[in-house]
Structure 1
Amino acid sequence: MISKAVRSKVMARTAVIGLSLGVTALASLAGYSINGNVDTTRHVRETGMQSDQWGALTLNVSIEYEMLGDYLRASTDVGRQPLLSAMGSATGNIAWLAKNGDETDQEQAADVADSYAAYTQTLHELVDADALGEREAVDSLALQASLAASTLRKSGIAQVARKRLDMDQYLLAVDERNNKTLVAAGAIVAVDVVLLVLCASLMIGHQRRIERQAQESKYRAGHDGLTGLANRSLLAEHVDRTLAQAARGGDPVGLLLLDLNKFKEVNDTLGHHAGDLLLIEVANRLADAVRESDTVARLGGDEFAVLLPRVGSTDACLELARRVLDAVQGPAELDGVRVDISGSIGGAVYPLQSANSAELLQHADIAMYTAKRNRSGTAMYDAEADSHSSEQLGVIGELHRAIAGDELVLHYQPKVATGTGELVGVEALVRWQHPVRGLLPPGEFIPQAEDDEIIVALTDAILEMALVQHRTWRDAGVELPVAVNIAAGGLYDNAFPDRVAAALARHEVPGAMLTLEITETSIITDPAEVQTILDRLRDLGVKLSIDDFGTGYSSMAYLQTMPLTELKIDRRFIGSVHESPSDEAIVRAILELARALGLKVVAEGVESADALALLETMGCPFAQGYHMSRPLPAGDVLTWAAGRVGVPVNS
């Protein structure tokens, strides 16, 4: 293909250059021919004028000679006057030829001038002799003049003949030159025609390639390169056009959004090639499952959309969503590896649920997340259950104000040693002192913040507040380590370790006094990138803890390679550990795993003395929960800890 394109370009350039040279040659030949014609015209004109002068000279000499005869026969002065008037009439012709004739003309004119001067002199002498009545002298001079006139006429006639011969030879040469020019012009024209045809064919071919490339570019601009489905841009065009048709009296229009389950795990485990094969398989199943009038699109990643014109009703759209999901779900072979395809579909209907294209897409997206969250497979948009209502969306805007206006407060839950009950640290838990709604727990705003970039500012604010409080306790003589929960976004922010280092330095807090608690899922999403961030935090002396351990899908390899300090066993295993043999077995297994890896263990959610006692006998060193203390305002922590053994106090 590339070689063909190169040859085409070389041929096109060669043809254009050749045609340009041919046109230049033809133009040069035309200029040469025009110049030749100008020269020929000038030469013919000059030769004709020279020939005319020789003819006129001959004629004037002949007239003078005839006038001489009339003179000799005349008996009166009137009869003799014409000769007197005609004498010297050829002098002007001779002078012209001497000045304007060619080299031969000038030589001949010089000779004729001498002969004509002698002839004219003879005529003057004859007139004088006649006036004196000398008849013999007159007759002698008349004979001499006759001979001179004859010689002059013969010279003139000879020169006229010479001029005619020169003209014939010159015109013959011109004809030969013109014939050669005509042949050359014909050859050049023939070559130019061939090159012109070649250029035209190449230009037509190039134009067709451009049109084909334009069509391909237009297709690529509107279609996904991997699956061949419509992309987000083309889907938006189809949605706008379909809604416009529906607004003019058509049936309702449905939109389905599909998100695959565990697609990232397929990519991470089997590689991106397998992920691509999975997307292609899903695209094919979608295309086979819908009607011809429907539009299937890939919006990006593992998210697909189906536009359903004339869907009829919300119930009909939900039924179509179920059919589409049934067609997509099921086992698939990816390079010999069997995987199960599953997903979640959300739908919305215009104009029953959405007023325009933007709302239709937004509502279908909300419904899809509802289906994913409820594990229902499919869901239609429900305005009453829409967690993205204007009131809830306003939380993000208010949270910006809360951070800037110091409306956030921290409560601290004590962490104690199971054997002695001594206070070994606290976990900072954020609350929002809302000016209207009162004190809000984190569940009222943290989930919304995690879906928005504000989680970065919120995390930084919590960290700042916790370090300020640690320094306050320290200045009061109490060294109390503090733990702060870090959202997953912080583990993918390269600037986060630098901000932690700056905060520690700003408040002169040793890194060992700070524990950052992270979740299993935030590690497993991209372990390589997380490893780098965690290593930088470890280098600051900061301790790292896995929160809610046991609820995720951590790999043993991650626990071995990550620079972790402790595990916090999730409360679901701790609450009934003294009553459930299975929970007790899980906790014992986690404790054994932690001891093998050199990790400390904290049991969360301890709510009874029996659970605490069992944890102590099992060898769990630390615990926190309502049995020991609920989260406390900062001012109550030291009061609660008063009298307890082991509260570290500066000396």
Structure 2
Amino acid sequence: MRHWLQRRAVARSAIVALTIGLTLLAGLAFISARTAAQASASVAGRQQVSQQWNEVYLKINIEYEMLVDFLEQQSAEGRAVLSGSIGSAEENLRWLNAYGGPDDSAQARSLQNTYGGYSYTLRNLVDVTRGGDEDALRHQARQAALSAAALRKQASLNIARNNLEIGDRLREARQDSDQIKLAVTVISLADLALVVFCTVVLLVYQRSTERQAAESRYRASHDGLTGVANRNLLTEGIEKAIGRTVPGGAGVGLLLIDLNRFKEVNDTLGHHAGDLLLQEVARRLTGASRGTDLVARLGGDEFAVLLSAVDSAEEVMDIGERILAALCGPAELEGLTLDISGSIGVAFYPSPSTSAAELLQHADVAMYAAKRGHNGISMYDPDADQNSFERLTLLGELRRAIENGELELHYQPKVRVGTRTLCGAEALVRWRHPVRGLLGPHLFVPTAEQSDLMRPLTDAVLEAALAQHQRWRHDGLLMPVSVNVGASNLLDPGFPARVAALMDRYGTAAGQLTIEITESALVDDPPRAAAALRDMRDRGVLLSIDDFGTGYSSMSYLQVLPLDELKIDRQFTTEILSTPRGRPIVTAMVELAHALGLQVVVEGVEDERTHEAIADMGCEVGQGYLFCRPLPPDDFATWATEWTSDRTAPALS
């Protein structure tokens, strides 16, 4: 019975039925009110018509009584009163003709004809009394009496007819009301039964929901595959464990475990075998841990063991070595023997880790150190941590560097292959750090890409490059510039407009600025990136795809992006002469670019043999130390002047 009540179809049917019942009740209430209003309006209308017939009857009686009084006295005063009353019911008859029902209108028109004759007779009688003709007076009096009697009879019949209609309408209204009351009673009883039924269903559902909520809480805090805690519960457990520590007391340890060669198991034996392996790992970790420890799976093949109430980092290491020994070894999984091994990173609170976040971070750093060193287990070492305080503070220093103008650009020339004609310069950002000296982009650009600094950094580099381009123009050196742009900028809807505004500010002509993008900049949201590129292309910006061939989807991007230039990465350039496949690969890239109408720029041209090789392939532009290293703006201008003066071809093309 309970399972039947828990069925969704039953609950939905009950709710639908109750809804229909309540809707019917509301409908009946509306119909009842409307019926009552219609009956009331109908009765009121008939009463108004009946009132008009009463007035007709009354006025005809009054006219006749005045006639009788006049005939008895025949005074001038009686004649004036009689004359004034003649036709007094005409207005009521006109109203009945205009506003009465079909029967009343017909009766009123019929009565109007008779009443008109009666009024005519009264007027003649008044005129006869002035002449003294007694015979004529008696004749007119008899006619008036007959007409008055007929009129009173016809008016009284209409009064009676209207009263009967009012009675009938009232009886019909009472019958309708009784029927509606009966229907309301039946539906109310049905609704009451449905309410009771729905209450029972809701109570059953409430208990079921409570059980499901408990199950959901468990699923939200535990891994569905292995049954151990998940990342959320681990994080909560770390916070609670740290919250229970006291100064000078026991600390908290964390072991972060990553399996070795787990991907090979998945790829070779399938995900089912991988799942069995993860379940076996969870069992081994749980069995090797203390009863107070929390075993968790963080995702993939990463596990963690939270150790509460440990006295020292050395104790954590001892427990970690015991758990590693229990973890590693062969495992029988459905007839297959697999070897399980892993790497463990160890961190300890309160020193050197000072918070839950640092405990997780330090264990992660130690785990990767264990994997790199093939140590099996490694304790967090602040001195070996590449994510040290110096790198963590780099972000704040970079923000101040952008604001204080500590960034500077160096320029590397782009040279026409064969003629060695200078045809442009690529702007390369450097950071003049007040303490660490001149830093290359690899030391700070990745940090900016992972934060909100990429936009101001790119804007600063673009503005510096275009400002330098303007200064070179004023000095007579027309030097197109190229600027690298990060992925986040292409997803910024305002970036193309900012580029155009900078070009307008510094008077940069169309074709004098090239934006270089990497394939990674297109992976996150290709449609938005392509829209941004088309917008910039429409504004006169040339577009180049940098480091071509190092990504995963180059061919698909080349089909849809509005590119002007393709840059071959130096890793391919160095293999042109050093590996058998190097030259065919670069040749294929060049032919592909030319087939798409793109200019080819080859990076990493370091010697004459490479220069000759790319010339034979038909590459248009080269970059590399063979021509010049990146130089500060003034040094680059001096170099460009000297380089151009040594060339027999025109300085720029």
What does 1:34-183 correspond to in 2, within 5 Å?
none
Partner of 1:347: 345
- Aligned residue for 1:502, secondary structure, equals helix
Partner of 1:256: 256
Q: Which letter does structure 2 place at the counterpart of 1:491?
A: L
Determine the C-alpha separation between the residues in 2 that align with 1:446 and 1:278. Answer: 41
* Gap change, CA 1:240 and 1:594, over 3 Å in 2: same
Judge conservation of contact 1:346–1:366 (CA < 8 Å) in 2.
Answer: no
Deviation digits for residues 194-238 of structure 1, max 9, x if unmatched?
999989966754652453354245346545789987554322222
What TM-score comes out, normalization by structure 2 length? 0.58
Judge conservation of contact 1:567–1:599 (CA < 8 Å) in 2.
Answer: yes
- Aligned residue for 2:551, secondary structure, equals coil
- Aligned residue for 1:415, secondary structure, equals strand
Judge conservation of contact 1:348–1:367 (CA < 8 Å) in 2.
Answer: yes
Correspondence for 1:5 among 7, 11, 14: 11
- Aligned residue for 2:536, secondary structure, equals helix
Q: Which moved more, 1:222-231 or 1:379-388?
A: 222-231
* Gap change, CA 1:462 and 1:199, over 3 Å in 2: closer
What does 1:2-401 correspond to in 2, within 5 Å?
2-6=8-12, 205=204, 207-209=206-208, 211-216=210-215, 218-219=217-218, 222=221, 230-243=229-242, 253-256=253-256, 287=282, 290-291=285-286, 294-298=294-298, 305-309=303-307, 312-314=315-317, 317=320, 347-351=345-349, 354-367=353-366, 381-401=380-400
Partner of 2:442: 443
What does 1:550-561 correspond to in 2, within 5 Å?
550-561=549-560
Number of aligned positions between the proteins: 450
- Aligned residue for 2:430, secondary structure, equals strand
The percent identity for this pair of structures is: 44
- Residue 490 of structure 2 is aligned to residue 491 of structure 1: yes
Shift of 1:3: 2.4
Judge conservation of contact 1:344–1:368 (CA < 8 Å) in 2.
Answer: no
Determine the C-alpha separation between the residues in 1 that align with 2:500 and 2:275. Answer: 46
- Residue 462 of structure 2 is aligned to residue 458 of structure 1: no
Judge conservation of contact 1:344–1:377 (CA < 8 Å) in 2.
Answer: yes
- Residue 650 of structure 2 is aligned to residue 646 of structure 1: yes
Determine the C-alpha separation between the residues in 1 that align with 2:325 and 2:446. Answer: 29
Q: Which letter does structure 2 place at the counterpart of 1:6?
A: R
Partner of 2:601: 602
Determine the C-alpha separation between the residues in 2 that align with 1:444 and 1:476. Answer: 33
Partner of 1:616: 615
Determine the C-alpha separation between the residues in 2 that align with 1:370 and 1:438. Answer: 29
Shift of 1:456: 1.9
* Gap change, CA 1:431 and 1:208, over 3 Å in 2: same
Judge conservation of contact 1:254–1:317 (CA < 8 Å) in 2.
Answer: no
Shift of 1:593: 2.4
- Aligned residue for 2:566, secondary structure, equals strand
Determine the C-alpha separation between the residues in 2 that align with 1:431 and 1:307. Answer: 43
What does 1:397-476 correspond to in 2, within 5 Å?
397-476=396-475
- Aligned residue for 1:350, secondary structure, equals strand
* Gap change, CA 1:11 and 1:547, over 3 Å in 2: closer
Q: Which letter does structure 2 place at the counterpart of 1:350?
A: F
Q: Which letter does structure 2 place at the counterpart of 1:390?
A: F
Shift of 1:11: 9.4
- Aligned residue for 1:428, secondary structure, equals strand
Determine the C-alpha separation between the residues in 1 that align with 2:414 and 2:522. Answer: 24
* Gap change, CA 1:196 and 1:399, over 3 Å in 2: closer
Determine the C-alpha separation between the residues in 2 that align with 1:580 and 1:513. Answer: 37
Deviation digits for residues 415-460 of structure 1, max 9, x if unmatched?
0011111110100011112223322222332232222221221111
Judge conservation of contact 2:431–2:438 (CA < 8 Å) in 1.
Answer: yes
Partner of 2:561: 562
* Gap change, CA 1:571 and 1:204, over 3 Å in 2: closer
* Gap change, CA 1:376 and 1:515, over 3 Å in 2: farther
Deviation digits for residues 5-49 of structure 1, max 9, x if unmatched?
335658999999xxxxxxxxxxxxxxxxxxxxxxxxxxxxxxxxx
- Aligned residue for 1:254, secondary structure, equals strand
Determine the C-alpha separation between the residues in 2 that align with 1:278 and 1:407. Answer: 55
Q: Which letter does structure 2 place at the counterpart of 1:215?
A: A
Q: Which letter does structure 2 place at the counterpart of 1:407?
A: E
* Gap change, CA 1:214 and 1:262, over 3 Å in 2: closer
* Gap change, CA 1:303 and 1:632, over 3 Å in 2: farther
- Aligned residue for 1:419, secondary structure, equals coil
Determine the C-alpha separation between the residues in 1 that align with 2:508 and 2:329. Answer: 57
Partner of 1:146: none
Deviation digits for residues 226-271 of structure 1, max 9, x if unmatched?
99875543222222344567879778632427699999xx9xxxxx
Partner of 1:633: 632
Determine the C-alpha separation between the residues in 2 that align with 1:224 and 1:501. Answer: 51
- Aligned residue for 1:256, secondary structure, equals strand
Q: Which letter does structure 1 place at the counterpart of 2:12?
A: V
* Gap change, CA 1:288 and 1:220, over 3 Å in 2: closer
* Gap change, CA 1:204 and 1:605, over 3 Å in 2: closer
Judge conservation of contact 2:534–2:562 (CA < 8 Å) in 1.
Answer: yes
Judge conservation of contact 1:516–1:542 (CA < 8 Å) in 2.
Answer: yes
Partner of 2:588: 589
Shift of 1:627: 1.5
Judge conservation of contact 1:520–1:547 (CA < 8 Å) in 2.
Answer: yes
Partner of 2:522: 523
Shift of 1:322: 10
Q: Which letter does structure 2 place at the counterpart of 1:295?
A: V
Shift of 1:560: 2.3
* Gap change, CA 1:262 and 1:491, over 3 Å in 2: farther
Deviation digits for residues 121-159 of structure 1, max 9, x if unmatched?
xxxxxxxxxxxxxxxxxxxxxxxxxxxxxxxxxxxxxxx
Q: Which runs of 5+ in 1 are unaligned?
A: 17-193, 267-274, 331-341
Q: Which moved more, 1:372-381 or 1:616-625?
A: 372-381
Q: Which moved more, 1:427-436 or 1:507-516?
A: 507-516
Shift of 1:400: 1.0
* Gap change, CA 1:476 and 1:251, over 3 Å in 2: closer
Q: Which letter does structure 1 place at the counterpart of 2:563?
A: L
Judge conservation of contact 2:422–2:640 (CA < 8 Å) in 1.
Answer: yes
Judge conservation of contact 1:318–1:379 (CA < 8 Å) in 2.
Answer: no
Determine the C-alpha separation between the residues in 1 that align with 2:570 and 2:375. Answer: 26
**Could you say what the CA RMSD is over the residues aligned between the two structures, in angstroms?**
4.8
Determine the C-alpha separation between the residues in 2 that align with 1:584 and 1:593. Answer: 14
Q: Which runs of 5+ in 2 are unaligned?
A: 1-6, 23-192, 288-292, 334-339
Q: Which letter does structure 2 place at the counterpart of 1:608?
A: D
Shift of 1:493: 2.8
Judge conservation of contact 1:467–1:507 (CA < 8 Å) in 2.
Answer: yes
Determine the C-alpha separation between the residues in 1 that align with 2:447 and 2:549. Answer: 25
Structure number with bigger Rg:
1
Judge conservation of contact 2:496–2:532 (CA < 8 Å) in 1.
Answer: yes
Partner of 1:508: 507
Judge conservation of contact 2:329–2:341 (CA < 8 Å) in 1.
Answer: no
Judge conservation of contact 1:431–1:440 (CA < 8 Å) in 2.
Answer: yes
Partner of 2:570: 571
Deviation digits for residues 91-144 of structure 1, max 9, x if unmatched?
xxxxxxxxxxxxxxxxxxxxxxxxxxxxxxxxxxxxxxxxxxxxxxxxxxxxxx
Determine the C-alpha separation between the residues in 2 that align with 1:504 and 1:11. Answer: 69
Q: Which letter does structure 2 place at the counterpart of 1:291?
A: T
Determine the C-alpha separation between the residues in 1 that align with 2:509 and 2:326. Answer: 59
Judge conservation of contact 2:226–2:282 (CA < 8 Å) in 1.
Answer: no
Q: Which moved more, 1:583-592 or 1:391-400?
A: 583-592
Judge conservation of contact 2:18–2:195 (CA < 8 Å) in 1.
Answer: no
Shift of 1:620: 1.9
Judge conservation of contact 1:325–1:345 (CA < 8 Å) in 2.
Answer: no
Q: Which moved more, 1:592-601 or 1:627-636?
A: 592-601
